[in-house]
Amino acid sequence: MVTVFGMSLSGNCYKVKLLLEQLGRQYVWQEVDIMTGVTHTPEFLAMNANGQVPLLEITPGRYLAESNAILCYLADDTLLWPAEKLQRAQVLQWLFFEQYSHERFIAVARFICKFLAADHPRRAELPHLHERGQRALAVMEKHLADHAFFVGERYSIADIALFAYTHCAADGGFDLSAYPAVGKWLQRVRAQPNFIEMM
Amino acid sequence: MVTVFGMSLSGNCYKVKLLLEQLGRQYVWQEVDIMTGVTHTPEFLAMNANGQVPLLEITPGRYLAESNAILCYLADDTLLWPAEKLQRAQVLQWLFFEQYSHERFIAVARFICKFLAADHPRRAELPHLHERGQRALAVMEKHLADHAFFVGERYSIADIALFAYTHCAADGGFDLSAYPAVGKWLQRVRAQPNFIEMM
């Protein structure tokens, strides 16, 4: 059975939990509070030199890092990562979009608004984060205006990855009512079998 | 034959060119100067709503974006993306690391130092970019101290992706002499068949 080292409040960790639940896989969840600095201890760095969660322990002592790589590993040979070559690559395209053009603005805005003090100096980053996050949401809105899901008109790990921080974007000060196709897609994701909400 | 829309000075675009050369694939290179704003015209956004290069045209009118997704698509069924399930996922782990923890610091520092004026206000970002970029280089150094390549002791698209902006990190003010294992790995990459330098 795999073990997930993760923090329940993290969207990147929620992706892995949601996928495991939807696949009906058994797993051990090892809660890790990154706020305590535990991911930068020698013990944790020996498991993941990049000091991040989620981290998947596949077999004792064998680890896989990076939330979206974990999604690909766990969804391989399931309907949630299509086998057809171009669709597989299109899923990867959206996974890289999520990490490079979406998460680092929308998740970071959420972190600043939700977990830091109201007068924290990092709030100065918010205008930039909002501008870039809105650009990512607009790319999603444009795609979802014509498509039910991100790839091949069926639910996949691309939807799981993008759902993780989109559904809670309001926590970071984003107004999702400006993106109606995104809103309808969020409901379609919530209607999938074995869906669970983030903690 | 595929067409690559790319800018020769971009490391993300160089990844795709290097892989195509090493696979011995024929391709058309369509030079795109992002400095002119052409990637934000309606014509380009119709090809890639995220307004970025590289962009691969697979067949007329069918496009794939995100440099690392393009690497996976082109390397599928070749020795440069191992078929074994865990090794495939480990390659993805390093590709996501490259985009999330490496490129957005090291490539951006290079952009500021190499392409913007010496008194440009964005130079204020450099201390943060250097600190985070050095952290990424340290993760690579730790891995390469015990390994010839990133996955499975053989050259793969993980090496291509990480080579792209590591080999020119000095352009962004990074001192690679502090990372001797990285330096030796750069030489191993340069020794691969059909290697070409970035323009």
CATH number for B12: 3.40.30.10
The residues, ordered by sequence, that sit 6+ positions from A109 with a Cβ below 8 Å of its Cβ are A125, A126, A129, A130, A133, A169, A172, A173, A174
Same domain, B28 and B59: yes
The answer to whether residue B199 sits within a structural domain is no
The answer to whether residue B195 sits within a structural domain is no
Same domain, B125 and B186: yes
The sheet with strand A62-65 has its strands ordered as A27-31, A2-6, A55-59, A62-65
Of B50, B85, B143, the CB nearest to A76: B85
Same domain, A50 and A111: no
Structure confidence at residue A175 (pLDDT) = 98
Per-residue pLDDT of chain B (199 residues; tens, 9 = 90+): 999 999 999 999 999 999 999 999 999 999 999 999 999 999 999 999 999 999 999 999 999 999 999 999 999 999 999 999 999 999 999 999 999 999 999 999 999 999 999 999 999 999 999 999 999 999 999 999 999 999 999 999 999 999 999 999 999 999 999 999 999 999 999 999 999 999 8
CB atoms within 10 A of CB A23: 15
- Residues of A contacting chain B (CB within 8 angstroms): 49-50, 58, 62, 64-70, 72-73, 76, 85-86, 88-90, 92-93, 95-97, 99-101, 103-104, 139, 142-143
- What is the helix (H) or strand (E) element at residue B106, kind and residue range? helix B104-115
**β-pairing verdict for B2-6 and B55-59:** antiparallel
**Domain end among A56, A75, A94:** A75
Tell me if A173 sits within 8 A of A113, measured CB to CB.
yes
**β-pairing verdict for A27-31 and A2-6:** parallel
ipTM of the complex: 0.98
For residue B34, give the nearest of B95, B107, B94 by alpha carbon.
B107
The answer to whether residue A179 sits within a structural domain is yes
Same domain, A95 and A67: no
Contact: A93, B65; criterion CB under 8 Å: yes
The answer to whether residue B43 sits within a structural domain is yes
CA atoms of A49 and A65, how far apart (whole Å):
9
- Residues of B contacting chain A (CB within 8 angstroms): 49-50, 58, 62, 64-70, 72-73, 76, 85-86, 88-90, 92-93, 95-97, 99-101, 103-104, 139, 142-143
CATH number for B101: 1.20.1050.10
CA atoms of B91 and B80, how far apart (whole Å):
10
**Domain end among A75, A107, A126:** A75
Average pLDDT over residues A110-139: 97
Structure confidence at residue A135 (pLDDT) = 98
Contact: B66, A143; criterion CB under 8 Å: no
User: What's the number of CA atoms in the CB half-sphere (13 Å) around residue A56?
Assistant: 27
Exposed/middle/buried for residue A194 (C-beta within 10 Å: 0-12, 13-18, 19+): exposed
In chain B, the number of structural domains is 2
Beta bridge partners of B62: B59
Cα separations in angstroms, A155 against A11, A187, B64, B141: 18, 12, 19, 38
Chain B interface mutation, best of A50, A74, A98, A142, highest count of B Cβ atoms under 10 Å: A50
Same domain, B41 and B117: no
Rounded to a whole number of angstroms, the distance from the CA of B182 to the nearest CA of chain A is 15
Structure confidence at residue A199 (pLDDT) = 85
* A69 contact residues in B (CB cutoff 8 A): 89-90, 92-93, 95-96
pTM of the full predicted structure? 0.98
Contact: A143, B49; criterion CB under 8 Å: yes
pLDDT in tens, A7-36: 999 999 999 999 999 999 999 999 999 999
CB atoms within 10 A of CB A174: 24
Same domain, B70 and B105: no
The answer to whether residue A80 sits within a structural domain is no
CA B147 to chain centre: 20
The answer to whether residue A68 sits within a structural domain is yes
Same domain, A96 and A186: yes
Of A85, A93, A99, the CB nearest to B96: A99
Average pLDDT over residues A34-60: 97
Nearest CA in chain B to A71: B89
Same domain, B69 and B89: no
Same domain, B19 and B98: no
Same domain, B99 and B36: no
CA atoms of B98 and A53, how far apart (whole Å):
16
Same domain, A54 and A92: no
**Domain end among A29, A49, A75:** A75
Contact: A142, B49; criterion CB under 8 Å: yes
Same domain, A8 and A102: no
Which range of residues forms the domain containing residue B98?
85-190
